[in-house]
Structure 1
Amino acid sequence: MTTTRTVTVGVDGSDSALDAVRWAAEEVRLRGGRLRLVHAESPLFDAPDLERRVRTALREASWRVVREAAEVVDPLVELEVHVEVGGPAQVLAAESAHAGLLVLGTRGLGGFASLAVGSTAIAVTSHAACPVVVVRGDKPNRPGPVVVGVHGDPHSVPVLAKAFAEASARGVGVVAVHTWHPVVGDVVALSAGIDLAEYDALHGGRLARLVSPWRTKYRDVPVELVVDRGSASTVLLERAEDAALVVVGGRGRNSLTGLLLGSTSHALLHHAPCPVMVVHAPSEDA
């Protein structure tokens, strides 16, 4: 089986991690593939007299965590588990190189503390080599459309690809959202009597052209196009209230800065009422 069909979940014994496992197991059931549960075991500092005993206790606790997580998975789902000594961000980033999707919870314990609300989750989401889903909300596997944020540039292509694939697998529609900010020239135009609705129509045409190939490929997926002015995060959060999943792009990567995570992604990871998928664009160097 190719690694692109592996859905990897970081588990730590928290209820939030179990929600992530349930969401990921449903993803595997819908899309096929394999579910991989990963736990990062804390490394020991020098303790010559206790190291063997403490190490044994830590290892037993680690395997108890992954066994408890495995218990919430349908027996028909292909499953594997893995425990590795190391920092959670580093372990999960390394796992992402061999996964098609990496799934995290929102509030962790132990090895994955503060996932999705702190530096660990931001680091994992920013540096993962595959798309990352942060499972948010009280009912992660809820019905509703897939909402996708579309910037209107080539970086939107992989984001749209994931959004339509997810919607098709779920049998739901896509809500494609594009926002824009009036600039000085637009304000001058408005003062001259030119209606900004003309600019809305221009942006709407661009959005329709970007979405068109995916409409053709996924004819079974209903599509709603939304063009609005203002903050992308605000509009996406409003649309997320009735969504099953929100899909957004990162900021790509380049040789100077590495992977980047934009303000919209940050806002959704902290405040979205449903799971959030972050898809990075291909390397700008390429």
Structure 2
Amino acid sequence: MRVLFGYDASRSAMDAVDTAGRLLPGASATVLFLWEPPFASAELRQRLASRAQSVDRLIDLLEDEGRAEAERLVAQGVVLARAAGWDAEPRVERSFNEGYQLARIAEQDAFDVIVLGSRGMGGAQALLGSTSDLVVHVSRVPVLVVPAALMSAERAAAGSGPILIAFDGSPGAEAAAAAAERLFPGRELERVTTAPEGEAHAEGEATLVPLRGRAGSARAVGGTLTEYAAERGAGAIVVGSRGRSASRELLLGSVAKAVLHHAHRPVLVVPHPRSA
């Protein structure tokens, strides 16, 4: 399995690699650090400016120091990835747009999954957080987002808890289930669907969880899924990026977003088959 790990040296990224290593043991990982000049600290930039004899020379110095700092930081990420059990190698790239660039590299180099922390800072701009949202929307490979501030039990569950698949019978949900089988071999997989209490459903072997909230609300569906995941001690939640109408209490992009922003455990977002 080939993992593209978006690393930015933030606490969120450091925590993410430990948790992701439990979910994806033994993976081959590329630790990607994206940087954008001027990457050096303000103090270092002042020192460089005092030494540069021209603007062109200052630009060259900033470029050299920025790349050197990025390479130093990505090396730390590789150490963490190897400690998590991954066969890891570093990669440093100049950034033009973190979210699109992560998605493009993952697609072009045929990675199986992108791993991101939910929040962080990369270079002079945010790499994770708003960028993780963008990656989830545009990526054509599955994206595993690891939330910040997990409790020890939630982190431990990543290595042993069941993998819950939000399921509504749509092509998007089928793609999510197939991705879960491929990325989490040997793990317990449970398909889960929601509906108002007393309403029949016909989603095969999926576990029916009564909707906890207003019918037709994507937020209620997402909340129901995340609460059930907590009750089950789930290792991760798998959602498709799109599904059926939220009016049927089933998976939709807005539901995937609700799960991403409220789950206290990793969330794997799988692109719709038409975009993959």
TM-score of the superposed pair, with normalisation by structure 1: 0.73
* Aligned CA distance change for structure 1 residues 47 and 40 (closer, same or farther; 3 Å): farther
Whether the 8 Å CA contact 1:146–1:166 is kept in 2: the answer is no
* Aligned CA distance change for structure 1 residues 233 and 164 (closer, same or farther; 3 Å): same
Deviations 1:190-233 (A, max 9, x none): xxxxxx73x42xx1xx211xx4xxxxxxxxxxxx7124234320
Aligned with residue 207 of structure 2, among 206, 220, 225 = 225
The amino acid that maps onto 1:22 is D
Whether the 8 Å CA contact 2:223–2:262 is kept in 1: the answer is no
Deviations 1:238-278 (A, max 9, x none): 012121100001027xxxxxxxx711111122111100000
Whether the 8 Å CA contact 2:236–2:268 is kept in 1: the answer is yes
2:264 is the counterpart of 1:264: no
Whether the 8 Å CA contact 1:24–1:35 is kept in 2: the answer is no
Give 1:66 deviation, angstroms. Answer: 0.8
Q: What aligned pairs does 1:18-57 form with structure 2 within 5 A after superposition?
A: 18-29=14-25, 32-43=26-37, 47-57=55-65
Whole-Å Cα distance in 1 between the matches of residues 117 and 11 of structure 2? 9
Match of 1:11 in 2: 7
Match of 2:86 in 1: 77
Q: Unaligned stretches of 5+ in structure 1?
A: 182-195, 212-223, 253-260
Aligned with residue 90 of structure 1, among 88, 100, 112 = 100
The amino acid that maps onto 1:280 is P
Match of 1:174 in 2: 189
Deviations 1:101-145 (A, max 9, x none): 0000012123462623x2x22111111110000012344352421
Match of 1:133 in 2: 144
2:167 is the counterpart of 1:150: yes
Give 1:53 deviation, angstroms. Answer: 1.1
Whole-Å Cα distance in 2 between the matches of residues 283 and 96 of structure 1? 17
Q: Unaligned stretches of 5+ in structure 2?
A: 40-53, 244-251
Give 1:56 deviation, angstroms. Answer: 1.4
Which region of structure 1 is more displaced relative to structure 2, 86-95 or 138-147?
138-147
Whole-Å Cα distance in 2 between the matches of residues 104 and 247 of structure 1? 15
Match of 1:192 in 2: none
Whole-Å Cα distance in 1 between the matches of residues 174 and 140 of structure 2? 17
Whole-Å Cα distance in 1 between the matches of residues 221 and 254 of structure 2? 9
Give 1:146 deviation, angstroms. Answer: 1.1
Whether the 8 Å CA contact 1:147–1:239 is kept in 2: the answer is no
* Aligned CA distance change for structure 1 residues 108 and 207 (closer, same or farther; 3 Å): same
Aligned with residue 275 of structure 1, among 263, 266, 275 = 266
Aligned with residue 236 of structure 1, among 204, 225, 243 = 225
Whether the 8 Å CA contact 1:158–1:281 is kept in 2: the answer is yes
The amino acid that maps onto 1:250 is S
TM-score of the superposed pair, with normalisation by structure 2: 0.75
Give 1:176 deviation, angstroms. Answer: 2.0
Other structure's SS at 1:247 match: strand
Count residues with an aligned counterpart. Answer: 234
Whether the 8 Å CA contact 2:99–2:127 is kept in 1: the answer is no
Which region of structure 1 is more displaced relative to structure 2, 15-24 or 242-251?
15-24
Other structure's SS at 1:36 match: strand
RMSD: 2.7
Other structure's SS at 1:12 match: coil
Give 1:34 deviation, angstroms. Answer: 1.1
Whole-Å Cα distance in 2 between the matches of residues 167 and 8 of structure 1? 16
Whole-Å Cα distance in 1 between the matches of residues 136 and 237 of structure 2? 15
Match of 2:50 in 1: none
Whether the 8 Å CA contact 2:180–2:238 is kept in 1: the answer is yes
* Aligned CA distance change for structure 1 residues 167 and 21 (closer, same or farther; 3 Å): closer
